[in-house]
Amino acid sequence: MKYDANRALQLLRLGCQNAGAVFREGQEDAVRVVAEGKGRLLVVQRTGWGKSFVYFIAAKLLREAGGGAALLVSPLLALMRNQIAAAERMGLRAITINSENTEEWESAEQKILADEADILLISPERLANERFQTRVLARAAERISLLVIDEAHCISDWGHDFRPHYRLLARMIEALPGNLRLLATTATANDRVVDDLRETLGANIKVMRGDLSRRSLILQTMDIPPPARRLAWLAERLREMRGSGIIYALTVRDAERVAAWLRRCGFAAESYTSESEKRPELEQALLENKIKALVATTALGMGFDKPDLAFVIHYQSPGSVVAYYQQVGRAGRALKNAHCVLLHGAEDGDINDHFINTAFPSREEAAAVVGELKKADGLTLPELTARLNIRKSRAEKTLQLLSLESPAPVVKEGTRWRLTAAQLSESFWRRAQRLTQLRREEQKQMRECAALSSGHMRFLVAALDGDADAVREPPGSPLSEDVNPALAREAAAFLRRSFAVIKPRKMWPSGMPDGLRGKIAENENMREGRALCVWGDGGWSDLVRAGKYESGEFGEELAAACARLIAEWNPRPRPEWITCAPSLRHPDLLSGFARRLAALLALEFRAALKIKTPRPPQKEMQNSAQQARNVFGAAEVCGGVLPGAVLLVDDIMDSGWTLTFAARLLRQNGAGEVFPFVLADAAGRMQ
């Protein structure tokens, strides 16, 4: 088609709502290459450069010239929501099919097949969906005029954020007609990733790379390991900083806790995680500066576009400098300067190690999964985990990764997984080993970045194989590293008030003996409970650890803290007595503590339970079914059960099944409502 420069500029101005806007360097060249169909194109440009305008304008020009709809593959729903709004300003009819809009699938599919949509946005996972493949893609494929792959580094094994489902894209591209327009975009592709993408996207692909430096960002790293001091620094500095921004945390628990602390300090702050129910509303609140800070995990990452974002602060260190570059790139797109501060903590290494160690299955896990599938004519995930001592998430990831191999040794048919005739290639393990080593190297590089006192942008640009010599220091002064001692003490007290809620189990897992299946009977179940802390959270956790593994005693300070929390909790009906979970390994540790707690609460203590059959520690059991079966029948009532409501005390909760079965025994033997109370929840730290 003939490129219309005037129309392209008009669309740019409509999209960014600026009548005087002009193309940035390289933007119009990219639009022209795509629109005129002059080969496949990979655009590597810094965050905020405007890669989305390239494919929106090209898609609109193609539609106006009579071409078919564009297909955009994008990894995050937050990105999709931002992009749909921008696309609609240009007059593009944009629709999305994703896991959060199932009620719209039918109408969306009809619009696509009726050629009433200009651009379809999907996640890479949607490509693996059988319904989408047969009902949409197969029937509309020949009419697609442009395939856009956003965040294309996710295709590459070498990319910092490799996503297994992007492997499906690589195979899809192999089958595409050579003349189909293809545009791939990313901000985070070093030379190694670009070379890998050339192989995947076609050796003749044209690569446009721009300046990766962000001159508006004032980058700092500060060594403030104690969580209380980091919280105090945040509260003090947020009062000084204009505008609104993002604070990144590594886990859901940390994001929620930081947001709660900031709210306590008077800030409008919310957490944004994979568990947040109203993510679109939270994004909009930040866009409209209705909140000071959104405390987010990587659920808010690539593609979120707020030009006036004033700061990005990392409460903990990400796993790689490339991920760090991607996240700080959210800030300062339309500002003279923006603050980006890395507050790395003592827990960062453990959390990032966990992410690295759980990225791939072990050979033993894969062999166990395949072995069980060999014995059965297909298994659901719950049925499989009931047979294996493997975490549900690990089993699920193993199945998913194996199913994405080519040829795939396992396939999913409905809800059941089955073996195929294919064998798992040794190349799978070589790739897993290579990527694990790469993540370790990235982690080391991130530690080097965190140790810098200056030159952070040069370091980041060099890591992306950009021109580090072109980097210039931004205007503006760095933020103070000082921490107010009084505020730090207040934050420490806050951390020691950050309890966790224990939710009762609702269903028995698959494969339980004695006819236990389905919903747990209400009259045999425990009620909602409390945990004084989450293991490793920087509050009471250190004292719990010391008492359990060093001194062999939970001291008076812990007992007093528990008594205060129980008084504030005030469960109803009010507990009339206390008992504790039985233990063979530490028989006096927990019972002694429960007796002291009973004295503080003026309640009677009864040692109502004892171990009947010794079992392995619960922390050695890797999934819910194994944990439940491990404690089934392990304990028995030894007398002394009272009829009133009871407080059931344990020290460290790994799964909740010990408490569930203890509560069942107590209820079956005449106890009233059972309220669980533990010192530390060890199940929720890495969530």
pLDDT confidence band for 161 (50 / 70 / 90): low
For position 556, what pLDDT does the model report? 93
Q: Is residue 69 part of a domain?
A: yes
Does residue 686 lie within any of the structural domains? no
Whether residues 431 and 298 share a domain: the answer is yes
Percentage of residues in the chain with pLDDT exceeding 70?
97
Q: Given a cut of 90, is residue 272 above it in pLDDT?
A: yes
Cα–chain center distance at 364: 26
CATH number at residue 195: 3.40.50.300
Average pLDDT on 496-509 reads: 92
Nearest to 24 by CA among 60, 57, 53: 53
Q: Is residue 334 part of a domain?
A: yes
Please provide the DSSP assignment of 609-675 as one string: EEESS----GGG--SHHHHHHHHTTTEEE-S---SS-EEEEEEEESSSHHHHHHHHHHHHTT---EE
Q: Compute the distance between CA of residue 462 and CA of residue 322 in angstroms, rounded to an integer.
A: 10
Residue 491 belongs to a domain: no
Q: Which helix (H) or strand (E) holds 119?
A: strand 119-122
State whether 75 and 123 are in the same domain: yes
Q: Does a structural domain hold residue 387? A: yes
Mean of the pLDDT values across residues 560-570? Answer: 96
Last residue of a domain, one of 463, 484, 505: 484
Q: Which two structure tokens, joined as six digits, stand for 314?
A: 């990392």
Q: Say whether both 356 and 242 belong to one domain.
A: yes
Which DSSP state fits 454?
S
Arithmetic mean of pLDDT, 411-426: 92
Same domain, 401 and 473: yes
Shared domain for 444 and 537, answered yes or no, is: no
Mean pLDDT of 430-439: 89
One domain for residues 48 and 171 = yes
Judge whether 51 and 34 are in contact, CB under 8 Å: no
Domain count, the chain: 3
CA–CA gap between residue 295 and residue 292 (Å, rounded) = 10
- Selection from 492, 504, 503, 568 nearest residue 537 by Cα: 492
Provide the percentage of residues in the chain whose pLDDT is more than 90.
Answer: 55
Among 261-265, 434-438, 504-508, the minimum mean pLDDT is found in 434-438
Domain contains 400:
yes
If asked whether residues 427 and 549 sit together in one domain, one would say: no
Domain boundary among 181, 209, 237: 209
Residue 687 lies in a domain: no
Residue found under tokens 């069980």: 372
**HSE value, Cβ hemisphere, 13 Å, CA-based, for 601:** 29
Q: Does 685 have pLDDT greater than 60?
A: no
User: Is position 489 within any domain?
Assistant: no
Q: Are residues 245 and 193 both part of a single domain? A: no
| pLDDT, mean of residues 550-573 | 95
Cα 499 to its chain centre, rounded Å, is 22
How far is the C-alpha of 626 from the C-alpha of 509, rounded, in Å? 9
Residue pair 314/343 in contact (Cβ under 8 Å)? The answer is yes
Residues 411, 542 within the same domain: no
- The sheet carrying 529-534 orders its strands as 500-502, 529-534, 674-681, 646-653, 577-580, 604-605
Give the pLDDT of residue 348. 84
Euclidean distance between CA atoms 98 and 88, whole angstroms: 18
pTM of the model: 0.84
Mean pLDDT of the chain: 89
Confidence of residue 201 (pLDDT cuts 50, 70, 90): confident
Spatial separation of the C-alpha atoms in residues 232 and 204, rounded to whole Å: 53
In this structure, the answer to whether residues 296 and 190 fall within a common structural domain is: no
CATH assignment at residue 617: 3.40.50.2020
Residue 53 backbone dihedrals phi, psi, to 5 degrees = -65, -30
Alpha helices in 202-248 (DSSP H): 227-238
pLDDT at 440: 92
Residues 80 and 177 grouped into a single domain: yes
Q: What pLDDT sits at residue 265?
A: 97
Task: Let me know how long the chain is.
Answer: 687
Query: Can the peptide bond before residue 573 be classed as cis, meaning omega within 30 degrees of 0?
Result: yes
Specify whether 547 is located in the same domain as 606: yes
**pLDDT tens for each residue of 48-84:** 788 889 999 999 999 999 999 999 988 765 556 666 7
- Which one of 164, 190, 209 terminates a domain? 209
Domain residue limits at 407: 213-484
pLDDT of residue 243 exceeding 90, the answer is yes
